[in-house]
Structure 1
Amino acid sequence: MPYRVPSRAELQDGTARMTSISIQSVSKSYGAVSVLKGLDLAIGDGEFVSFLGPSGCGKSTLLFCIAGLEEITQGRIMFDDRDVSGLAPRDRNIALVFQDYALYPHMSVRDNLAFPLRQQKVADGLVRKQVDWAAGLLGLEPLLDRSPAELSGGQRQRVAVGRAIVRNPAALLMDEPLSNLDASLRVKTRTEIKRLQRALKTTVVFVTHDQEEAMVLSDRVAVMNDGVLQQFAEPMTIYRQPANLFVAGFIGSPQMNFLAGPDVPGGQGSNRIVGVRPFDLSPAGATGDGFRLTGELALIEPAGPVHYLDVQVGETMIKGTCADPSGLAPGAAMTLEAPGHCLHVFDRDTGLRLAT
């Protein structure tokens, strides 16, 4: 039975906007190549979830499986407790925003926004109402009569989002929609996307390799690597309590420092790896409290409100931070200190997090 497409009345009053999505033991293979490996996660009604990971980790493939553009090899995908694994994309009531906007160049912005509704043979009056609603929500009213060629990258992305939301989909799927924008425009556009999601209360699945985007936008983040779900939690939980070495190293910029073997103070490095974030390491005070590392200051890197300190500790280059580097000089001995509760300890063999 196809997933129910919203009626015209529901399009008008917006009652068909939310759905929960359950990924149950989903695997995807291309011949002998396994891309997704037994993934399990549940996305709640109206939740904003990001799939985050390096290139080739399977995040876009999983998104396309949810959309119905890729068939799964094993498992089930459920929308509101209904199995949609075998349904065509048009029967799932989802909208997909691609990386490259995919606007029709011969159509005006108005016609691009109206196209999904006209394909559904929605009445002209309701089409106009929905187009005006989406344009008002996204600030597109002055652009409705322009062609895509007359728009900036950020404006085109807003049109692509508007075309996706104009029919009030149950879920909005976004595949790296900000990757073609410059840095300042990315920050502005991600703010607009979050504001839009809160206004619509739509379930959003957002694919990105940019950890900052995922942390800022998401209610929860699914960190993936090599087709395996590494951790699925709220952004700050992942930052403060990474489940394993991969998550600890992937989340956070600059990357977490790792110490092993003889570089770990107290002789605890034989079966453990200790991690500490650069923002938790600073020049040691006189009290001597906390976790300490002593080495040679190699470099001072100014970065606006903080300065990064690169300190050679044994065989490992450690990065710390300070607000004011006055009196510090490369080549001098330096001791960095972090509060004990800021340490992250991992099993050296399994990579899993241990109690600190």
Structure 2
Amino acid sequence: MASIEISDLHKTFAGIQVIQGLDLSIRDGEFISFLGPSGCGKSTLLFCIAGLEEIDRGSIQFDSTEVSDLPAGERNISLVFQDYALYPHMSVRENIAFPLRQQKIAPLVIAQQVSWAAGLLGIEHLLDRIPAQLSGGQRQRVAIGRAIVRNPAVLLMDEPLSNLDASLRVHTRTELRRLQKELGITVIFVTHDQEEAMVLSDRIAVVKDGVVQQFAAPMEVYAAPQNQFVAGFIGSPEMNFLPASVLGGRQEHVIGIRPHDLNLTTSASDKLQLSAELILVEHAGPYQFLDVSVSGMTVRATCTDATGLLLGQNLTLEVSRDKVHYFDAESGERVALSSPENVTRENPICSVAG
């Protein structure tokens, strides 16, 4: 197992800066996710840590030992790819054993390690099959078995669940988290799926244009996003953003409200209230999502029972003041407000819409 320290990392492709002076500290035994949209640099960062990409400048250390100049084979890492990359002519047993055979490990030790990895993943009964005889979920388990069989210091995973169907993806991520805790291994997991990152991670690094926007525990990223990009990327449905002027506030601010925090009401209260017109109802199991128009802008809210609501109907929505997020309109950075009392007294952003 290993801690990882990344300092001032730069990586450029064809004159385009993909990673820009990135700093990151990962503790031994953590499950870390790199989360961001396609093209943000998260896979490139993973490959730099793996040694598959050379860095232009900066430092990568495993347990305080510089590894930036070491080839991938000398970094004691394992990498699981999106497409599994199994050898089609080899059995499951041979696929899992392959990295140990490359290291010329004794056959008895190889057999013991393969048996251990297969038992941990519940694929003992598949050892004599070839990949063509396996389902997608079974192939993914074989790929993970091949990665862990050599007891790597760091396990790197590049969108390993994206080829699985929805139900299997949920089951596999649960098994993956159990496996990581059991092994105590340091894992870096690349994904564009914020739900996967939230469920699996000890901490999430949200990446945009090669820069880490926020690096924190999942619920901290969700509850206190560092900027407007993080706020919009984390959470489903995504956060509503409204100019403060809609609520009689200062135009240099933007307010953010999550749909799950914005609900129907029929009475006055000390909560923030919005007048809206209903334009769409979406049924989604225990919740109904309401698309409403607020001052000409579409906003999404939730309710548990949309019975009797009519399109075009005027509604009143409310949200607790402590669930409202504030961002600088120019920079997008989070604006910290001292207390609810000061907000009510001093900040017109929180005044009730008329």
Same fold (TM > 0.5): yes
Q: 1:101 aligns with which of 84, 106, 109?
A: 84
**Residue matched to 2:286:** 305
> What aligned pairs does 1:1-356 form with structure 2 within 5 A after superposition?
18-263=1-246, 265=247, 267-356=248-337
Matched pairs, number:
337
1:127-160, Cα deviation, whole Å (9 max, x unpaired): 0000000000000111000000000000000000
The answer (yes or no) to whether the contact 2:244–2:255 under 8 Å persists in 1 is no
The answer (yes or no) to whether the contact 2:241–2:255 under 8 Å persists in 1 is yes
Offset at 1:295?
A: 1.4
Letter in 2 for 1:119: Q
Offset at 1:243?
A: 0.2
Q: The residue matched to 1:184 in structure 2 has which SS?
A: helix
CA distance in 1, matches of 2:272, 2:21: 39
Question: Please, which runs of 5 or more residues in structure 1 have no aligned partner?
Answer: 1-17
1:334-353, Cα deviation, whole Å (9 max, x unpaired): 01100000000000111100
CA distance in 1, matches of 2:51, 2:133: 33
Q: The residue matched to 1:106 in structure 2 has which SS?
A: coil
Seq. identity, %: 62
Question: Please, which runs of 5 or more residues in structure 2 have no aligned partner?
Answer: 338-354
Q: The residue matched to 1:353 in structure 2 has which SS?
A: coil
TM-score (normalizing by structure 1): 0.93
> Which is worse superposed, 322-331 or 274-283?
322-331
Offset at 1:285?
A: 4.1
Runs of 4+ in 1 over 2 A off after TM superposition: none
1:279-338, Cα deviation, whole Å (9 max, x unpaired): 000012424221111111111111000000111001211110011112321111001100
Q: The residue matched to 2:291 in structure 1 has which SS?
A: strand
Indicate the RMSD between aligned Cα atoms, in angstroms: 0.8
